[in-house]
Structures are given as structure tokens and as C-alpha cells.
Amino acid sequence: MSDREVSVVLPAYNEAATIERTVEVTLETLGAFLPDSSFEVIVAEDGCDDRTPEIASRIARADRRVRHVHSDERLGRGGALERAFRASDGDVLVYFDTDLATGMHHLEELIESIRTDGYDVATGSRWMPENVANRPLRRDVASRGFNALARLVLRSRLRDHQCGFKAFDRDALFALVDDVEDDHWFWDTELLVRAQRAGFGVREFPVDWEPKGETKVDLIRDVVGMGSGIVRLWWQLSARPRIDRRVTMAAGTLLVLAAVALMTVYLDPSAVVEAIAAADRRLLAAATGLYLLSWPLRGLRYRDILAELGYHERVGFLTGAVFISQTGNLVFPARAGDALRAYIVKARGGIPYTSGFASLAIERVFDLLTIATMAGVTLLALAAAGVDVTGIGATGAPEAGRESGRTAVYVAAGVGAAAICVVAIIVATARSDRNLVRPTLERISSDAYVDAVATTLEQFAADVQTIARSRRAFAVVGTASVAVWSIDVLTAIVVFAAFGVDLSPIALVAVGFFAVSVGNLAKVLPLSPGGIGLYEGAFSLLVVALTPVGWSVALAAAILDHAIKNVVTVVGGIGSTLLFNVSLTTAVEESSDVDRDGVIRD
């Protein structure tokens, strides 16, 4: 034990009217059962914009038992507490809300739970049968709902996680606090849940509680934030530890098998095989040759992106890197090939991981923007030509089929419009000095997970900024993206034509475009390696919804289209790995130790 046994922290944000009285009551209560030299009171002033800093400093100068920890910026309730605890001297660390809503006659019991009884964490509770808690209805409903969710979802044994009346053993707190991500209202809950999961002794005891003044909890922003905190903590503690590469692969495989099993309910697999056997092989060969042309364009586009970031590499090397990364996405789940490309350009080209991931982010933005823009242009062109977009090729189809066609087109149009809006916002943010991302998200929630999302989006916008601010670079990379995706669509159209379907050229182009676009959007979900199954399902659905073509031909076209593209990718990937002397398995294992910020993890 050190000379200073107990440190009490008072989190203070704009408490000018009450902080002096709170410190006085705290000193009196502590002095009633502890020697003056054995405790300290720390005012954790959290970026206040009233007279709280001035008052706290004056109190600290007048009484050596009081200290003032000042912050120029708002850290959040949890952040202010953590900062003050790190500056404290005590072996028992205590905090309670400065409104003194919890009866101060419980303070000795709180401290002695740690100091004498040997618990690692002690917390007051407003929801135990023995306590007295006079709560307004608005607070009562929100608190009971939150605590019920925390017990159910996070498997906590406690009745009340948010009571601002807690004490900690110093060693136990600092063994936990580095893993606590929230820095505001959810800080308490996360700490208590992590303490229980780590096997620390946690005591909950009833306290008398009466609210004083207006709550500083925003019942929209902060409740949503704490709700998202529950989801985030559940994912970190319960879900993520159980999800490894084998689980992901198994889940994706089962999903594909389930989709295939369901398909047999409304189509004959032998009919699909017969349709594939009857396809025109010359057109399939032409489609393969056409798709091969897109790969040098992918290398050129990647070269231009890296050049804008200050790195210059040969097109052949970069085309090989793209081949390897796309092959990795086919072989391994959860788009592991994206990290694989960053590893390749780092290991073989000396390009830092941060720049490798930034170039990937830029490439993804242009892919999304190109697909969405081409969808919009196609819809507008068809509408201008007087074509009934909601009934393309549906002559003779039943009313249900035509209705499905309308729905499919509306969904495609909605997705395209949303994608264009999102990319436009990102580009506008990148070209502007104003930070639009963080203020928008902070209006919704105050959880640390939202802060992490805001940080990621800010980094994403910064990655795009280099390209977005240069009209020449934007035009060059954009033109290459249009060429890449045009060849992708034309490949599918040639494959579709190989089945001899009776569709007009306009209908064939429109259906080919929508099927490929929605199929590739489905592949964004990392549920199966390379989106196998997802692409075919989305492609077939759009074809059947928009045309009188039956399921067997639609699925056969989807399978061949995806197979041609995957075979070209795998052959190119294998050739590139042999040329570069790279092991896919080893590269994925090593690249998995690199996070999206380019930091090597232990």
C-alpha cells in the first residue's frame, strides 16, 4: 500500500454551480472514516466552457487534498475519468457523479469493498430490491431497457451498469482499461463486462439514489450510442473470437449449397447442364479473349493511381499484383486478396502498406462510381429512346414476371443512385477543407465505435483526396475504370448471346448490364470466396425478372460468364505467383498481420 490509499475522481463538465459544494461534501465524508493524508480528491475537468476550471483551480490551491486535472478539449466522461485515474496516486480508485445523486452514506461501503473486502470492482446499484431510487419515468424506462439488453446480450450478471458510483482496485483497473474502447457514457458498462469476462471479483450493492437537476444524457444520441456499444462489445467478446477462416469458409460454402438446393425446387439441374452444352463455343472463346483485354487496363489504372501517390512501377508487375490479389479473393474468404495485394507491392515494390491500402480504397471508389454511373446512364438512355424499362423483354411473360422486372429495375436504380450519392459525398469531402463526416456521425451517436467509423471514413476520404483534387488524374483513372467495366459487361453479353436467346440488341445490352452490375454488387458481401453463388444468384434473378428467358438458361449464362472470368483470373494469378516466386498461402498469412492502417500486429 502507498501512503495515498484512496483517490476519488469527480468527473466535471460545466459544473460551476455545484462543484465547490460537491468537493466540500466529498472531503467531509472521506474525512469521517479515513486519515487526511490517506486520500485525495481529483476534479477531472473535461473541457468546460464555464467557470468550472477557475473554481477547481482555486479549490486545489486552498486544500492540498484536492487536485485539478484540466483538459482543453472534451474527452468524454470515460476519457476524462481514465485520464484522471492515470494521474492519481491511490491504490483504491473511486468515482461518482458530481450531482451527488447517490447517497454519500454509501461511500465508506463502496471504498471498503475494495480496501478491506478484497473485491476488484465495486458498483452501486439502483435496481436491487433493497435500494431506494426515485427516478422520473423517462429515465426509468431508458435505464431498465438498457440494463436488460446488457444482461441479455453481453451475459452480464449485474442489474445496473450505469450507476455513477464505482470503485476499483488500481491494478485491476489498469489491467482492463487499455481494452476499453468507449470514452463516454458506455465506458462504465464496457469496463464492468470486461471485468466479469476476465474473472475479476465484482461486487454490486444497493444504494439510495435521487436525481438532481437535468440529466446530461441525450436520450437520442447517447442511447443510440450505448446501443451500438452493446452490439460492438458483443461482436468483440462473443462473435469475433469464434469467427476464423475455417468458419467463414464453411458458412460461405453452406450458403452456396443452400442456394443450389433451393434452386432445384424450381428448376431442373439437368436443363442447366443441357443449356451449357448447347452454348456456342466460338462465342464463348470470343468472350474469353475479350475479357483478357481488361487485365492490362487494370494494371494501367493501378499504375496511374500509385503514380498520383508518388510511386512508379511497371504495368506488367502491377497487372500481376492485381491478378494475384483477385486470385486470393477467389481462393480465400472475406476478400483476403485485398491485403494480399498490399503485401505484394510492399514485398516486391517497396510500397508502404499505408499507400497499398490507400490505392485499393481509391480503386474501389472508382469501381463503385463507374458501376453506378453506367447504370444511371443506361436507364436514362433507354427512357429517352421510349423503351419501357420496367418491362424489357417481358412480352408473353406472366404479370408476376413483369412485376418482378419492375421491382428489379427499381432496386437497381435505387442502389445506383445511392452509390452515386455516397461517392459524391466522399469526393466533395475530399475536395473540401470542411470535415463533414465526423460532425454528421456524432449527431447520431457518441459511442467509441462511431468514433472509429468516423476515423475510418476520414482516412478513406483522405485517400481519395489525392485523386479527387486532380482533374487530370480523376479523368484518367475514371476513363480506365469505364473501359474495365465496359469489357466486363460486354463479356457477359457475348456469353449471353452464345445461348441464342431471342432478345433485341437493346434488351440484350440492358439485361447484360443490369445482371453484371447487380451480380458484382452481390459479390461485395464476403460470404463466399470470390462471391461464387452470390454472383450467379443475382445475375439469374435479374435476367428472369427482366426477360422471358427461363431459369435454366439464365443460370447457365451466369455460371459460364462467372466461370470464364474466374478461370482467366486464376490462370493469370497462378502465372504471376510463379513469375514473382510468391506463395499465396504464405502471403495471406503474412498479410493478415497487417491492419488497414498499415500497422503490423503482434
More confident residue, 319 or 446: 319
Written as nine digits, the cell of 171 is 491494478
Q: Are 208 and 127 in contact (CB under 8 A)?
A: no
Written as nine digits, the cell of 544 is 428472369
More confident residue, 602 or 41: 41
User: Is residue 218 scored above 60 in pLDDT?
Assistant: no
More confident residue, 337 or 15: 15
CA distance 526 to 522: 9
Give mean pLDDT, residues 493-502. 82
More confident residue, 128 or 24: 24
C-alpha distances out from residue 583 to 246, 333, 574, Å = 19, 17, 10
Residue 499 pLDDT:
84
More confident residue, 421 or 321: 321
Q: Per-residue DSSP letters for 367-378?
A: HHHHHHHHHHHH
C-alpha distances out from residue 532 to 30, 212, 255, 517, 551, Å = 66, 59, 10, 15, 18
Backbone angles phi, psi at 57, to 5 degrees: -65, -40
The proportion of the chain whose per-residue pLDDT surpasses 90, expressed as a percent, equals 26
Give mean pLDDT, residues 480-502. 86
User: Is residue 326 scored above 60 in pLDDT?
Assistant: yes
> Bridge partners of 205?
124
Top-confidence range, 284-293, 485-494, 563-572: 284-293
Residue 463 pLDDT:
60
Give mean pLDDT, residues 13-39. 93
Measured at the CA of 168, the angle between CA 194 and CA 233, to 5 degrees, comes to 15
Q: Are 269 and 276 in contact (CB under 8 A)?
A: no
Residue 468 pLDDT:
65
Task: Name the amino acid, one letter, at 523.
Answer: K
Task: Name the amino acid, one letter, at 185.
Answer: W
Residue 550 pLDDT:
74
Interval 83-118: pLDDT, tens: 999 999 999 999 999 889 899 999 999 999 999 999
Range with the poorest average pLDDT among 119-133, 252-266, 463-477, 577-591: 252-266
> Bridge partners of 46?
71
Backbone angles phi, psi at 44, to 5 degrees: -90, 85
Which one from 169, 188, 222, 447 is the annotated catalytic residue?
188
Interval 543-580: pLDDT, tens: 666 667 777 777 788 788 888 888 888 888 888 878 87
DSSP conformational letter for 209? B
- Residue 95 region by backbone torsions, left for phi larger than 0, else alpha for psi between -120 and 50, else beta: beta
User: Is residue 40 scored above 50 in pLDDT?
Assistant: yes
**188 a catalytic residue:** yes
Residue 92 pLDDT:
96
Residue 579 pLDDT:
80
Rounded-to-10 torsion of CA 563, 568, 571, 572: -150
DSSP conformational letter for 241? G
Residue 397 pLDDT:
43
Residue 589 pLDDT:
54
Interval 379-438: pLDDT, tens: 665 555 554 544 444 444 444 444 444 554 555 556 556 656 665 665 565 555 566 666
Cβ-based neighbours of 456, under 8 Å, separated by 6 or more: 596
User: Is residue 339 scored above 80 in pLDDT?
Assistant: no
Helices (H) and strands (E) in the chain, counts: 23, 7
User: Is residue 244 scored above 50 in pLDDT?
Assistant: yes
Q: Per-residue DSSP letters for 536-600?
A: HHHHHHHHHHHSS--HHHHHHHHHHHHHHHHHHHHHHHHHHHHHHT--HHHHHHHHTTB-TTSPB
Residue 574 pLDDT:
83
Residue 582 pLDDT:
64
Interval 139-165: pLDDT, tens: 566 677 888 888 999 999 999 988 889
Mean pLDDT over each residue of the chain, to the nearest integer: 76
Q: Are 516 and 546 in contact (CB under 8 A)?
A: no
- Torsion 261-262-263-269 (CA) sign: positive
CA distance 122 to 99: 20
3-state secondary structure of 459: helix
Backbone angles phi, psi at 68, to 5 degrees: -120, 120
C-alpha distances out from residue 258 to 262, 390, 508, 540, Å = 6, 30, 30, 16
Rounded-to-10 torsion of CA 234, 236, 241, 244: 110
User: Is residue 203 scored above 90 in pLDDT?
Assistant: yes
User: Is residue 234 scored above 60 in pLDDT?
Assistant: yes
CA distance 200 to 173: 10
Give the chain's end-to-end CA distance (angstroms, integer): 34
Residue 597 pLDDT:
41
CB atoms within 10 A of CB 151: 15
Residue 32 pLDDT:
95
CB atoms within 10 A of CB 508: 18
Top-confidence range, 158-172, 273-287, 430-444, 530-544: 158-172
Whether the model pTM is above 0.85: no
Give mean pLDDT, residues 45-50. 86
User: Is residue 595 scored above 50 in pLDDT?
Assistant: no
Residue 130 pLDDT:
63
Q: Which of 351, 478, 374 is nearest to 427 (CA)?
A: 478
Residue 457 pLDDT:
62
User: Is residue 202 scored above 50 in pLDDT?
Assistant: yes
Give mean pLDDT, residues 463-481. 77
pLDDT class of 126 with cuts at 50, 70, 90: confident
Residue 552 pLDDT:
79
More confident residue, 33 or 416: 33
3-state secondary structure of 69: strand
Top-confidence range, 182-186, 359-363, 569-573: 569-573
